[in-house]
């Protein structure tokens, strides 16, 4: 059975970001959880080496990687550092390095988290995560309820944000030698679509798919996202 490593984004989890996708893909893959570190300090190479160890423990010799947000540059680094293990990459809402806008958003995110201001943090994440089309189509009462019921961020969030603030894989983009799909979130206020498309253009032979969502496709268009990933991993011949 083909392995599929799932690497989530900052402030999230494998289940929170990929639960709908794995339910859609069913038992066609041997899933490996790419859990981000819960303590600050590990560098990208140490983190991706841990992913390989998780794949070994799961019995996945070679595997495709789905990386979302921060998971995308980690997936890129993994494919360059361990090219014999990675068969394909799906990079959703990806960035190669944090620009000034992202650094400011990360700093505010961390400050709100560490001071326990979870309601304001939920509003900050909605502002920087949700696309305009989704927001405009959402009933105000429903939006308030969503923010009120938003789960508390995981304890490892500061470590995730610290890693996101220093990762830089620009030099790795041209070294990728596996099939790559970049899923561009075309209304993304956190990672601009222009940056995502530039990343795709820097990867030899990369394909692209575009979703009319912000940074949270698993909330805004889970079926469209699953369609793109499933088509690439199965119809595209990766599996």
| Residue 82 included in any domain | yes
Mean pLDDT per 10-residue interval, the chain, length 239 residues: 94 95 94 94 96 96 97 98 97 98 96 90 93 94 85 88 97 97 98 98 97 97 96 74
| Residue 61 included in any domain | yes
Q: What is the pLDDT of residue 148?
A: 84
| Residue 143 included in any domain | no
| Residue 136 included in any domain | no
CATH number at residue 221: 3.40.50.1820
| Residue 118 included in any domain | no
Give residue 192's domain range.
Answer: 3-99+159-235
| Residue 49 included in any domain | yes
| Residue 122 included in any domain | no
Q: What is the pLDDT of residue 238?
A: 57
Q: What is the pLDDT of residue 235?
A: 75
Cβ atoms of 111 and 201 within 8 Å: the answer is: no
Count the domains in the chain: 1
- Convert 146-177 to b/e letters by CB count within 10 Å (16 or more is b): ebeeeeebbebbbbbbbbbbebebeebbeebe
| Residue 154 included in any domain | no
- What is the pTM (predicted TM-score) of this model? 0.95
The 30-34 sheet, strands edge to edge: 30-34, 3-7, 63-68, 86-92, 180-185, 207-211
């Amino acid at each position: 059975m083909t392995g599929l490593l799932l690497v989530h984004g900052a402030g999230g989890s494998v289940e929170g970001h990929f639960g709908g996708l794995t339910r859609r893909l069913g038992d066609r893959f041997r899933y490996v959880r790419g859990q981000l570190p819960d303590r600050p300090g590990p560098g990208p190479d140490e983190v991706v080496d841990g992913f390989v160890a998780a794949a070994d423990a799961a019995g996945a010799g070679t595997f495709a990687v789905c990386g979302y947000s921060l998971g995308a540059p980690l997936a890129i680094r993994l494919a360059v550092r361990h090219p014999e293990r990675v068969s394909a990459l799906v990079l959703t809402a990806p960035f190669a390095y944090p620009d000034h806008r992202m650094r400011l958003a990360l700093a505010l995110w961390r400050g709100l988290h560490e001071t326990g201001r979870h309601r304001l943090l939920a509003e900050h994440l909605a502002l920087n995560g949700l696309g305009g089309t989704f927001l405009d189509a959402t009933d105000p009462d429903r939006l308030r309820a969503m923010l009120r019921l938003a789960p508390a961020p995981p304890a490892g969030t500061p470590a995730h944000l610290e890693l996101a603030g220093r990762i830089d894989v620009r030099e790795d983009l041209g070294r990728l030698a596996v099939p790559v799909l970049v899923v561009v979130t075309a209304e993304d206020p956190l990672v601009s679509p222009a940056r995502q498309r530039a990343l795709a253009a820097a990867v030899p032979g990369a394909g692209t798919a575009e979703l009319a969502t912000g940074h949270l496709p698993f909330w805004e268009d889970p079926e469209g996202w699953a369609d793109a990933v499933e088509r690439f991993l199965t119809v595209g011949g990766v599996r």
